[in-house]
């Protein structure tokens, strides 16, 4: 899912804040502010052909903890919001298309303010296997990690695009070198984390937010793990990320910009929110 804007290091935006406030208020009025322990956050833009199956595939509970599905519809022009509601999701229907990063930030906020203890993210296009949600969540629920991401290189990927496959390796190498931690997949969309982590890291990107979040949690000393997972071919619709060269250029700007920002801020403030006694190194 991709929005219209891109920035290497975009900042907070008064207009964006107003959009978020209005959307969060409408969401609270419709659903109240009490969520179960696990919130599955999905950003969706014109995904009417795939969103229903994705929502229906989310397990109702994981390890005995109930789940709720929050779909943030990012200025869609189709029936994405209506179909997600029909399938049981709690829908935050934002009238402006701002990008996946902005939609996920709003979803994180809704989950935290609703009292969710854990957040899972997945995509609206069916590329991730919802049956693997318990696998991704397990280290967080067991207190072994603060942030867990799936990895197609440790697991399996079905894409035939050699350039994209190469890009996964290149960005994994780059982020590993920058952060000093071995990472095999920087952009996998199926992730799990303690809810408070999303409020402690700096998230500004309207797009390509996966690498910003990953570099942020590593830089702030949170316990990070990767688990094997599957990247399937898109089940419906078309990718909105653009061509390989454009995507690679923009993604690299976010990676480098986030790393530089985190380095500048590292000496200014300690890592917040880490579990007491937990190691700063990732696993």
pLDDT tier for residue 140 given thresholds of 50, 70 and 90:
very high
pLDDT at 269: 53
Q: Which residue has the higher pLDDT, 244 or 82?
A: 82
Nearest-angstrom CA–CA distance, 2 and 160: 21
Q: What is the mean pLDDT of residues 134-138?
A: 98
CA distances from 32 to 36, 139, 235 (A): 12, 30, 32
- Spatial CA neighbour of 104 closest among 209, 194, 224: 209
For the domain covering 14-264, report its CATH number. 3.90.550.10
Nearest-angstrom CA–CA distance, 107 and 104: 5
| Residue 63 per-residue DSSP state | T
Q: Which residue has the higher pLDDT, 274 or 128?
A: 128
Whether residue 258 has pLDDT greater than 90: yes
Task: Write the pLDDT tens digit of every residue in 222-243.
Answer: 999 999 999 987 655 555 555 6
Nearest-angstrom CA–CA distance, 64 and 152: 27
Residue 61 pairs in a beta bridge with: 66
Sign of the CA dihedral 96, 101, 102, 107? positive
Return the domain boundaries, the chain. 14-264
Three-state secondary structure string covering 118-172: EEEECCCCCCECHHHHHHHHHHHHCCCCCEEEEEEEEEEECCCCHHHHHHHHHHH
CB atoms within 10 A of CB 229: 26
Residue with tokens 């440790």: 154
Q: Is residue 74 a contact partner of residue 97, using CB atoms and an 8 Å limit?
A: yes
Sign of the CA dihedral 229, 233, 235, 239? positive
Find the farthest-apart pair of alpha carbons in the chain and give their distance in angstroms, rounded. Answer: 48
Q: What is the mean pLDDT of residues 96-100?
A: 94
Query: What is the value of pTM for the model shown?
Result: 0.86
């Amino acid at each position: 899912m991709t929005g219209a804007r891109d920035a290497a290091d975009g900042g907070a935006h008064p207009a964006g804040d107003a959009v978020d406030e209005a959307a969060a208020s409408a969401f609270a009025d419709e659903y109240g502010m009490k969520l179960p322990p696990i919130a599955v956050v999905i950003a969706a833009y014109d995904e009417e052909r795939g969103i229903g199956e994705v929502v229906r595939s989310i397990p109702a509970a994981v390890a005995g903890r109930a789940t709720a599905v929050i779909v943030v519809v990012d200025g869609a022009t189709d029936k994405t919001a209506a179909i997600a509601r029909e399938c049981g999701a709690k829908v935050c229907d934002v009238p402006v298309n701002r990008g996946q990063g902005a939609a996920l930030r709003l979803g994180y906020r809704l989950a935290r303010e609703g009292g969710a203890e854990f957040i899972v993210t997945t995509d609206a296009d069916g590329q991730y296997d919802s049956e693997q949600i318990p696998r991704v969540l397990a280290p967080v629920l067991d207190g072994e990690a603060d942030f867990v991401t799936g990895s197609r290189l440790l697991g399996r990927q079905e894409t035939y695009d050699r350039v994209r496959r190469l890009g996964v390796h290149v960005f994994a190498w780059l982020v590993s070198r920058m952060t000093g931690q071995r990472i095999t997949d920087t952009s996998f969309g199926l992730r799990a984390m303690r809810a408070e982590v999303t409020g402690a890291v700096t998230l500004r990107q309207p797009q390509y937010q996966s690498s910003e979040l990953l570099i942020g949690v590593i830089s702030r000393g949170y316990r990070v793990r990767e688990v094997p997972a599957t990247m399937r071919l898109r089940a419906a619709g078309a990718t909105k990320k653009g061509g390989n060269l454009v995507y690679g250029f923009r993604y690299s700007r976010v990676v480098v910009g986030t790393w530089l920002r985190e380095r500048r801020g590292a000496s200014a403030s300690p890592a917040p929110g880490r579990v007491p006694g937990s190691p700063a190194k990732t696993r």
